[in-house]
């Protein structure tokens, strides 16, 4: 097995280190939690980009890492509750670290497994992983809503131009929940099944979250429930902040083909390792069923200047965010957008750059037919 494959064990290695720190207690919990966050941010920026395709044939190893995520998060949660019983300031670090891994590992791996729509094991694992961030509608909305509506005004998972990141988090949580429930109810009606039944995947996700809450209450009482909820909400906010940067400001007309230019890619090496190549986001939207190790950077997709975690932190400061993103959006408008998309930007109160004019290559790319996969997922 190549060294390339081993690199994708980084997230699990960090979780194993966090488990060891939680078992020890005290200052190591702060150190490992802080180190994990630094690796995803400052260290990611220091390492820089990787532009080469890093896929390889060790799919068994990649799957092993994916399916190891759930038991690792269960152990982290049990040790979080143990830290709650012990009391002291360590519980704060434990909750921060647990919430960070709920987002970084739990949601990212759940995202990968959710797209394996023909595998009951993958879908059940994804549902359990999403329970740690109280997100029961992701399974329904992401695959059958976001991947069809990306870039449109009707997609709650696409951040709009000028929308502040925390306002987006509040809007997307509510709107994705409503849309996900409706999609699931429609799926069940088409199958002739009742909405309120064990067939409902949203209710299954809610049940998983309630099981974790019940376990927290049994092990550590009301304090355990509150600490878990704090970690879960923190993880959900981190996840939605990353979601914010993936499509910020990009537009697409309803029913128009989905193309590479409708997602922001990131070349940062560590971001791609930690997030299982999720920052190779344009390729993922064109070929949603492609496993993460086969995803590639799209040469014609717009690029973020920094890694996912760094960009989501920059988004908290509007002035810095607009300094980073407004020139990139102006370039997207002039070089990659088509006339309909420029018109949509104007209609929504945005400013469209008129120079430089789109090149022949960019125009041809904008008008190409989409790949066969993206509308299916």
The residue ranges of every structural domain in the chain are: 3-326
On the question of pLDDT at 71 being above 70, the answer is yes
Is the pLDDT at 295 greater than 80? The verdict is: yes
pTM flag (> 0.95): no
Distances (CA, A) of 243 to 8, 184, 200, 293: 21, 22, 25, 20
> What distance in Å separates the CA atoms of residue 234 and residue 126, rounded to the nearest whole number?
19
Q: What is the mean pLDDT of residues 195-206?
A: 97
| CB neighbour list of residue 260: distance below 8 Å, 6 or more residues apart | 282, 283, 285, 286, 298, 300, 301, 365
- State how far the alpha carbon of 264 is from the alpha carbons of 195, 205, 261, in Å: 36, 29, 8
**DSSP-based three-state secondary structure for 218:** helix
How many secondary structure helices (H) and strands (E) does the chain include? 18, 0
For range 148-170, the mean pLDDT: 97
Please classify residue 8 by burial: count the beta carbons closer than 10 Å to its beta carbon, then call 0-12 exposed, 13-18 middle and 19+ buried.
buried
What's the rounded mean pLDDT across residues 323-342? 96
Q: How confident is the model at residue 75 (pLDDT cuts 50, 70, 90)?
A: very high
Residue 356: pLDDT band (50, 70, 90) is very low
Contact predicate 204/198, CB 8 Å? yes
CA distances from 272 to 48, 112, 308 (A): 11, 13, 9
Q: What is the pLDDT of residue 366?
A: 29
Tell me the mean pLDDT in the region 310-323.
98
């Amino acid at each position: 097995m190549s060294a390339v494959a081993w690199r994708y064990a980084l997230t699990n290695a960090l979780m194993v280190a966090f488990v060891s720190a939680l078992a020890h207690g005290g200052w190591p919990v702060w150190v490992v939690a802080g180190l994990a966050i630094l690796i995803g941010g400052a260290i990611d920026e220091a390492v820089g980009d990787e532009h080469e395709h890093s896929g390889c044939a060790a799919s068994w190893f990649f799957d092993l890492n994916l399916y190891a995520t759930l038991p690792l998060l269960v152990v982290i949660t049990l040790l979080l509750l143990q830290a709650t019983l012990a009391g002291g300031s360590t519980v704060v670090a434990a909750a921060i670290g647990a919430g960070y891994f709920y987002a970084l590992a739990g949601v990212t791996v759940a995202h990968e497994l959710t797209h394996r729509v023909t595998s009951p094991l993958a879908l059940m694992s994804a549902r359990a992983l999403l329970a740690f961030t109280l997100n029961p509608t992701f399974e329904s909305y992401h695959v059958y809503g976001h991947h069809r509506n990306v870039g449109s005004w009707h997609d709650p998972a696409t951040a709009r131009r000028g929308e502040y990141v925390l306002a987006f988090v509040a809007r997307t949580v509510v709107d994705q929940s409503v849309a996900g429930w409706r999609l699931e109810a429609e799926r069940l009606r088409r199958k002739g099944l009742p909405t309120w039944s064990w067939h409902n995947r949203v209710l299954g996700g809610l049940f998983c979250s309630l099981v974790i809450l019940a376990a927290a209450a049994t092990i550590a009482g009301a304090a355990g429930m509150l600490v878990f909820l704090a970690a879960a909400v923190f993880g959900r906010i981190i996840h939605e902040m990353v979601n914010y940067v993936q499509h910020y400001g990009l537009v697409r007309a309803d029913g128009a083909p989905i193309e590479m230019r409708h997602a922001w890619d990131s070349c940062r090496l560590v971001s791609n390792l930690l997030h299982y190549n999720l920052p190779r986001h344009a390729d993922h939207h064109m070929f949603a069923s492609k496993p993460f190790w086969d995803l590639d950077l799209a040469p014609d997709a717009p690029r973020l200047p920094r890694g996912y975690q760094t960009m989501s932190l920059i988004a908290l400061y509007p002035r810095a965010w607009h300094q980073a993103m407004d020139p990139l959006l102006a370039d997207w408008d002039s070089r990659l957008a088509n006339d309909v998309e420029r018109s949509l930007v104007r209609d929504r109160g945005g400013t469209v750059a008129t120079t430089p004019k789109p090149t022949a290559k960019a125009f041809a790319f904008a008008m190409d037919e989409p790949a066969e996969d993206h509308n299916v997922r």
